[in-house]
């Protein structure tokens, strides 16, 4: 019987009927006791007939568990916050937490001891609504630790979406991350948790999700594999032997890398340089080591593209991961057409043509609005103020190819999240997440539990060049096309425009 109802004695308190499920790691049970007592899991010492419950499994006490038994818990709780004295407050008198609730800001995550690297990654991944939807349906059927970590991430997102609080302490998520990945549990000489590399945390979390999320309907792959993985077509050419045939292969990638050198000032430049490399390997034809040119082109674009700006390098003498502070400009709209294979480029063109028609119409509307405003100024009159009408959301076309769910069918991307670092080393300093709300388009800065609305101009200032927050990892999502523009080309749009303008011109001449 893996599920028990037990009583827990703590100090003068007795908690009755607490559920204990041995199919789940003990950390889940400790998280329940934290909610009841305020004693954080790492401070809890729970005794079962002389044995102490661990964090990973129940092996040392499972045989002694039974219904309605009483366990003893030792540990001190954090001091509870005092109740507010004031019953009424004005906005200028509110704290950051109270102001966030009043302004209906998204939920931030409490720093539990140098855990900003994890908090920023959680906010970063939340910018993918498809991932959040898939996670909301997840259940840990195997009961293993990686599955429990996935479940903890799901529960974190559930709390952030459902409850109107300014902050959430992801205690169970932190504990399980450190249990599954011990490299994130290192401490300093004084026992303080050390800072960790946020991109390493991001990569490990995506790998865990890749292992645990179920396969998509009608596919042999899951959401991570379809929406986050891309594919390279790779050509290997022997520079010293033209007679040796070129070798072609394919490689999957979860993230693109932008290496920063002296001549790299823009993200696109760094990406292009990475796609052509010189390397040395043994040639079977020459029977010795020879220089090869490895050329990579993207043969499949994922819906969500993660790009790391490789800002850290290891200094052997100082034994530290030093940081490159150089300013690297990145765009809000990214176009990867040029670094795709010719076959993929041909498939991208129809949707790209439709995007041109959509952009032309949007530009014409902006020009018309500016012209009306200029006419009003010239006539020294105020533009007529009409009642604000709710703009109906237009239906959007699929961003994927029909035969490849989770792909990008245009090569166009919108920036949806940025993970920044402030400091001089990846294992020190401070990480912050910046994400764009998918529904409103509003950008937010997530500095742990402090959430602030920011502008696109603020986002572009994260390009580096100093000790300010510097972009470390970028997340680009698919640029969306309105359905009414699907399968339209500039030529067809011009023909349609001509057919609508011709009658009006004839009518004008007849009136004259």
In order, the DSSP letters of 351-418 are HHHHHHHHHHHHHHHHHHHHHHHHHHHHTT-PPP-PPP-PPPPPPB--SSBTTBTTB-SSSEEEEEEE
In a domain, 348, yes or no: no
Bridge partner list, 412: 335
Tell whether the model's pLDDT for residue 19 goes beyond 90: no
In a domain, 304, yes or no: no
In a domain, 472, yes or no: no
Q: Nearest 5°: phi and psi at 101?
A: -70, -40
In a domain, 228, yes or no: no
In a domain, 331, yes or no: no
Considering the domain architecture, whether residues 66 and 103 belong to the same structural domain is answered as no
447: number of Cβ within 10 Å: 21
Considering the domain architecture, whether residues 153 and 208 belong to the same structural domain is answered as yes
Tell whether the model's pLDDT for residue 432 goes beyond 70: yes
Tell whether the model's pLDDT for residue 438 goes beyond 50: yes
Q: What is the pLDDT of residue 374?
A: 81
Bridge partner list, 296: 234
Q: What is the pLDDT of residue 2?
A: 76
**Highest mean pLDDT, choosing among 260-264, 357-361, 411-415:** 411-415
Q: pLDDT by residue (tens digit) across 142-185? A: 778 899 999 999 999 999 988 767 789 999 999 999 999 999 99
Q: DSSP character for 20?
A: E
Question: Which residue in this structure is represented by tokens 């459902």?
Answer: 162
User: Of these residues, 116, 128, 132, 258, which one is catalytic?
Assistant: 116
In order, the DSSP letters of 232-287 are EEEEEEETT-TTSPPEEEEEEES-EEEE--TT--BHHHHHHHHTEEEEEEEETTTT
DSSP three-state, residue 154: helix
Domain with residue 25: its CATH number is 3.10.20.90
| Last-in-domain residue among 74, 104, 130 | 74
Q: pLDDT by residue (tens digit) across 443-452? A: 999 999 999 9
CA 407/CA 478 separation, integer angstroms: 9
Q: Active site includes 61? A: no
Per DSSP bridges, beta strands 230-238 and 288-300 are antiparallel
| More confident of the two residues 263 and 316 | 263
Nearest of 140, 109, 101 to residue 126 by alpha carbon: 109
Considering the domain architecture, whether residues 34 and 69 belong to the same structural domain is answered as yes
Q: Which residues, including other chains, have CB under 8 Å from residue 347's CB and lie 6 or more apart?
A: 401, 409
Tell whether the model's pLDDT for residue 405 goes beyond 50: yes
Considering the domain architecture, whether residues 147 and 61 belong to the same structural domain is answered as no
The three-state (H, E, C) secondary structure of 188-246, written as one string: CCCCCECCCCHHHHHHHHHHHHHHHCCECCCCCCEHHHHHCCEEEEEEEEECCCCCCCC
pLDDT band for position 505 (cuts 50, 70, 90): very low
pLDDT band for position 433 (cuts 50, 70, 90): very high
Q: pLDDT by residue (tens digit) across 33-54? A: 876 787 878 788 998 888 888 8
In a domain, 58, yes or no: yes
Tell whether the model's pLDDT for residue 91 goes beyond 50: no
pLDDT band for position 420 (cuts 50, 70, 90): very high
Considering the domain architecture, whether residues 104 and 182 belong to the same structural domain is answered as yes
Q: DSSP character for 426?
A: T
Q: What is the pLDDT of residue 95?
A: 54
Q: Which residues, including other chains, have CB under 8 Å from residue 34's CB and lie 6 or more apart?
A: 40, 41, 44, 171
105: number of Cβ within 10 Å: 19
Q: What is the pLDDT of residue 391?
A: 46
Q: C-alpha angle 146/151/152, rounded to 5°?
A: 95
Q: Which residues, including other chains, have CB under 8 Å from residue 303's CB and lie 6 or more apart?
A: 130, 226, 227, 228, 399, 400, 406, 407, 408, 477, 478
Nearest-Å Rg of the Cα atoms of the chain is 28
In a domain, 263, yes or no: no
DSSP three-state, residue 172: helix
Considering the domain architecture, whether residues 129 and 200 belong to the same structural domain is answered as yes
Q: pLDDT by residue (tens digit) across 377-398? A: 777 665 544 444 444 678 999 9
Q: Are 35 and 25 in contact (CB under 8 A)?
A: no
Question: Residues 187-209: what's their mean pLDDT?
Answer: 93
Q: Which of left, alpha, beta for 465 (phi over 0: left; psi -120 to 50: alpha)?
A: left
Q: Nearest 5°: phi and psi at 90?
A: -90, 160
pLDDT band for position 511 (cuts 50, 70, 90): very low
Q: Are 423 and 311 in contact (CB under 8 A)?
A: no
Q: What is the pLDDT of residue 233?
A: 97
Considering the domain architecture, whether residues 141 and 34 belong to the same structural domain is answered as no
User: Of these residues, 128, 258, 340, 430, which one is catalytic?
Assistant: 430
pLDDT band for position 103 (cuts 50, 70, 90): low
Question: Residues 92-109: what's their mean pLDDT?
Answer: 64
Question: Residues 224-234: what's their mean pLDDT?
Answer: 97
Considering the domain architecture, whether residues 22 and 100 belong to the same structural domain is answered as no
| Last-in-domain residue among 195, 212, 229 | 212
User: Domain count of the chain?
Assistant: 2
Question: Residues 130-152: what's their mean pLDDT?
Answer: 89
Q: Active site includes 116? A: yes
The chain-wide mean pLDDT, for the chain, equals 86
Q: What is the pLDDT of residue 449?
A: 94
In a domain, 175, yes or no: yes
Q: Nearest 5°: phi and psi at 369?
A: -65, -40
Helix (H) or strand (E) run with residue 3 in it: strand 3-10
Domain with residue 102: its CATH number is 3.90.70.10
Domain with 108, as residue range(s), is 96-212
Considering the domain architecture, whether residues 69 and 27 belong to the same structural domain is answered as yes
């Amino acid at each position: 019987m893996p599920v028990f109802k037990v009583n827990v004695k703590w100090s003068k308190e007795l908690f009755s009927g607490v559920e204990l499920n041995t199919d789940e790691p003990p950390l889940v049970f400790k998280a329940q006791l934290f909610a009841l007592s305020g004693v954080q899991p790492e401070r809890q010492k729970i005794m079962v007939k002389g044995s102490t419950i661990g964090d990973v499994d129940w092996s040392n006490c499972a045989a002694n568990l039974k219904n309605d038994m009483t366990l003893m818990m030792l540990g001190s709780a954090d001091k509870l916050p005092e109740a507010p004295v004031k019953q009424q407050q004005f906005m200028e008198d509110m704290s950051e937490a109270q102001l966030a609730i009043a302004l209906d800001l998204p939920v931030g995550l409490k720093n539990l001891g140098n855990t900003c690297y994890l908090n920023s990654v959680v906010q970063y991944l939340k910018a993918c609504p498809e991932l959040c939807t898939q996670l909301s349906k997840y259940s840990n059927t195997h009961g293993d630790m990686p599955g429990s970590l996935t479940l903890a991430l799901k529960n974190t997102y559930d709390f952030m979406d459902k409850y109107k609080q300014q902050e959430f302490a992801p205690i169970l998520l932190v504990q399980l991350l450190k249990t599954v990945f011990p490299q994130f549990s290192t401490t300093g000489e004084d026992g303080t948790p050390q800072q960790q590399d946020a991109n390493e945390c991001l990569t490990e979390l995506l790998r865990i999700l890749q292992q645990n999320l179920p396969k998509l309907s009608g596919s042999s792959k899951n959401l991570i594999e379809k929406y986050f993985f891309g594919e390279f077509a790779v050509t290997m050419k022997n520079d010293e032997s033209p007679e040796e045939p070129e070798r072609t292969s394919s490689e999957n990638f979860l993230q693109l890398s932008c290496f920063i050198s002296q001549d790299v000032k823009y993200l696109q430049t760094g990406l292009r340089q990475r796609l052509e490399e010189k390397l040395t390997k043994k040639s079977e034809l020459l029977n010795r080591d020879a220089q090869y040119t490895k050329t990579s082109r993207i043969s499949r674009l994922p819906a969500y593209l993660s790009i790391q700006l490789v800002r850290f390098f290891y200094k052997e003498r100082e034994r530290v991961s030093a940081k490159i502070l150089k300013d690297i400009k990145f765009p809000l709209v990214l176009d990867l057409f040029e670094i795709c294979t010719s076959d993929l480029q041909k498939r991208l063109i129809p949707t790209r043509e439709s995007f041109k028609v959509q952009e032309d119409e949007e530009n014409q509307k902006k020009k018309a609005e500016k012209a009306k405003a200029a006419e009003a100024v010239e006539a020294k009159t105020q533009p007529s103020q009409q009642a604000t009408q709710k703009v109906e959301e237009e239906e959007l076309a699929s961003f994927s190819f029909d035969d490849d769910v989770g792909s990008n069918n245009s090569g166009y991307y919108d920036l949806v999240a940025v993970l920044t670092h402030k400091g001089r080393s990846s294992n020190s300093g401070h990480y912050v997440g910046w994400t764009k709300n998918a529904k409103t388009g509003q950008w937010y800065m997530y500095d742990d539990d402090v959430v602030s609305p920011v502008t696109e101009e603020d986002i572009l200032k994260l390009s580096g060049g100093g000790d300010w927050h510097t972009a470390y990892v970028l997340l680009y999502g698919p640029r969306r096309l309105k359905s009414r523009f699907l399968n339209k080309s500039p030529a067809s749009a011009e023909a349609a425009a001509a057919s609508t303008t011709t009658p009006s011109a004839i009518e004008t001449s007849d009136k004259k």
